[in-house]
């Protein structure tokens, strides 16, 4: 059993109403540009889920980087996006050397998400390590995108806290170099440890989600349900987080709102489809409805 956290703020609709998301005016540029880097030949769906979720969260302009061999498929599946294909390994993973080919997009983006669906730990780590020094905008790292943080939490310090990490419990354990049982015994404490080490907000998914800030603040989210334990669900949550960053939310706000939006979207699907059996691809269309629900 995880330890109680009396200092955590329980996320409720009222908490969110008192912490409203930025409401940009004007065209797509005013709503922020999101760059999503991810995918491989075997896990292309992850980047598609994250990219759609970013737009559904309110980002205005979508740019996606994937391996060249699958770029045409992404262009068809995401007609809203600028899609750039980059070199990949023989196994279909984005090459570390491809980082220099996306600097023009990354440097102009309002937020950057790296990780969904990426394969090959060594190449992904090299890609992130090469990209990070050039970034000044908010960054979200998910899944294998956390490999650089596992190797050196200090790689994010130059961003001054403008970072959200979205690990699942297994990924958090790897990042902290501890056994998964240790994270399971105290998930909130583990999230706080990584937040302090990396100078980043940590949004830890699970039956109960925990959002930890580097200054020690902690939020607890009990929305969702067993149905969210399905392939692709975490990719959607990462995309929501990044989309909120792009539209102007701060790291803590993006992580907290993303957790609730993701969880509540699952609850809505559980009511209409069934407690189990809904798909991750059904979550993004629910996101604008949940935002509207909170805004009531």
Enumerate the domain spans of the chain: 27-295
CB 113 within 8 A of CB 142: yes
Name the superfamily (CATH) of residues 27-295. Ribokinase (3.40.1190.20)
pLDDT band with cut points at 50, 70 and 90 for residue 23 = confident
227/222 Cα distance (integer angstroms): 13
pLDDT band with cut points at 50, 70 and 90 for residue 293 = very high
In terms of Cα–Cα distance, which of 16, 81, 21 is closest to 248?
A: 21
Q: What would the mean pLDDT of 41-55 be, rounded to a whole number?
A: 97
Q: Supply the mean pLDDT for the chain.
A: 95
35: three-class secondary structure by DSSP = strand
In terms of Cα–Cα distance, which of 244, 177, 263, 255 is closest to 212?
A: 255
Give the whole-number percent of the chain exceeding pLDDT 70: 97
CB-CB neighbours of 185 under 10 Å? 13
- Taking only the tens place, the pLDDT of each residue in 214-236 is 999 999 999 999 999 999 999 99
pTM: 0.96
> Is 2 a residue whose pLDDT tops 60?
no
pLDDT of residue 27: 64
The pair of structure tokens assigned to 292 is 């509207």
- Taking only the tens place, the pLDDT of each residue in 99-128 is 999 999 999 999 999 999 999 999 999 999
Q: What would the mean pLDDT of 63-76 be, rounded to a whole number?
A: 97
pLDDT of residue 40: 97
CB 238 within 8 A of CB 51: no
- Taking only the tens place, the pLDDT of each residue in 154-199 is 999 999 999 999 999 999 999 999 999 999 999 999 999 999 999 9
> Is 148 a residue whose pLDDT tops 90?
yes
pLDDT of residue 1: 47
In terms of Cα–Cα distance, which of 106, 97, 164 is closest to 133?
A: 106
Instruction: Give the dihedral sign, CA 240/195/157/159.
Output: positive
């Amino acid at each position: 059993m995880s330890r109680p956290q009396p200092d955590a703020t329980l996320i409720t609709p009222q908490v969110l109403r008192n912490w409203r998301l930025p409401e940009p005016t004007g065209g797509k540029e005013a709503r922020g540009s999101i760059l999503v880097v991810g995918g491989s030949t075997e896990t292309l769906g992850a980047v598609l889920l994250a990219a759609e979720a970013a737009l559904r969260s309110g980002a205005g302009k979508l740019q996606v980087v994937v391996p060249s061999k699958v770029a045409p498929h992404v262009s068809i599946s995401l007609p809203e996006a600028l899609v750039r294909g980059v070199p990949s390994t023989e196994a279909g993973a984005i090459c570390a050397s491809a980082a220099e080919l996306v600097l023009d997009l990354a440097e102009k983006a309002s937020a950057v998400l790296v990780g969904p669906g990426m394969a090959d730990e060594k190449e992904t780590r090299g890609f992130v390590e090469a990209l990070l020094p050039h970034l000044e905008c908010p960054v979200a790292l998910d899944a294998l995108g956390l490999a650089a943080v596992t190797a050196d939490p200090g790689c994010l310090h130059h961003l001054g806290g403008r970072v959200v990490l979205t690990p699942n419990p297994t990924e958090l354990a790897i990042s902290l170099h501890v056994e998964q049982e240790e994270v399971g015994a105290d998930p909130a404490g583990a999230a706080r440890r990584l937040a302090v080490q990396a100078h980043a907000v940590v949004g830890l998914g699970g039956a109960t989600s925990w959002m930890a800030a580097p200054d020690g603040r902690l939020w607890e989210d009990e929305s969702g349900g067993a149905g969210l334990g399905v392939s692709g669900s975490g990719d959607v949550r990462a995309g929501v987080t990044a989309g909120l960053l792009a539209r102007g939310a701060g790291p803590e706000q993006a992580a907290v709102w993303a957790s609730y939006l993701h969880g509540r979207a699952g609850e809505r699907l559980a009511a209409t489809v069934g407690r189990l059996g809904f798909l991750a691809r059904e979550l993004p269309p629910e996101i604008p409805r949940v935002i509207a629900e909170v805004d009531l």
